[in-house]
Amino acid sequence: MDGLFDGCKVLLAPMAGVSDVAFRALCLEQGADLGYTEMVSAKGLSYANEKTRHLLALAEGERRVAVQLFGHEPDVMAAQAAWVEDEMGCALAYVDINMGCPARKIVSRGDGSALMKDPGLASAIVGAVAGAVEHPVTVKFRRGWAEGDECAPEFARRMEAAGAAAVTVHGRYAQQLYCGRADWGTIARVKQAVAVPVVGNGDVRCGADAVRMGEQTGCDAVMVARAAEGNPWVFASVQAALAGRPDPAPPTVAERIAMARRHARLLSEREGRNIVRMRKHAAWYLTGLPGAAAARGRINGCMTLADFDAVFDELLEVADAHGATAAERR
């Protein structure tokens, strides 16, 4: 599977509550080569849960997507991976297994990064899924479970032996959650430990970071996560840096507000009343803009597309006035 990431060097991470169809569409437009679904519960799929199945929808303009499943029962994971493959056909890039999520509600059930504490079970899951589908199976995990106890290289070897076609490594321990710095040395050590492709994840915030990660780790692809929240333009920066081109100019205030407005509209068209999910996206888009702090309370009360548009209109007026005032002072 050496060619698994040919043409797909810049990946949008699977982020629960974030990587939906609207967000993926905007990130793909800005340069992401491939997106992942939000993590999908295999158990939820087994119950024919429509809310869970909804997560498998393709974004506008999306030809292929990686589907990330989570769970701790090998037979359930295998059966639902096979169902996903049948359901999605050529739209499925590959099946990714989540062994990295550190959220308490996930690990308390033995899912996500809790599987790093039981490599035998983790191997059984990978083996069962790989035996049930024809598409490649990949695994995403962390540096280790407990801080100071790095097990990622050996864990990666076991996942490879079980049938993983590639691995993604987040350079933090599960117990760190998202605090501290990601250790890219872990990614380099995993790359040295396995023959399958390795994706680097953690603290890629701009194009220069992506270049440094590649140079320091030898990873086959880079994954962007939180840096894309409210900033899909980060993918243009990463693509430019990897190609040796100058960094694109950052978006203007008007462009940021216009993107936030479009994001809200995409969510409204797709999910109706679930547009309340836009509240966190709006806060991310508007961070640091004139008037954003005062607008945060109004954003948290938005219930409709019209509500969001009203806030965006006000912020654009504030930004225009702020720009005019700054120009007068000069």
> Catalytic site residues?
101
Could you give the CA distance from residue 76 to residue 53 in angstroms, rounded to a whole number?
A: 15
Close Cβ partners of 186 (under 8 Å, ≥ 6 residues apart): 143, 150, 152, 153, 169, 171
CB-CB contact of 111 with 71 (8 Å): yes
Are 36 and 12 spatial neighbours (Cβ–Cβ below 8 Å)?
yes
Determine contact, residues 194/165, Cβ cutoff 8 Å: no
* Residue at token pair 């109004």: 298
Q: Within 13 Å and on the Cβ side, how many CA atoms surround 165?
A: 18
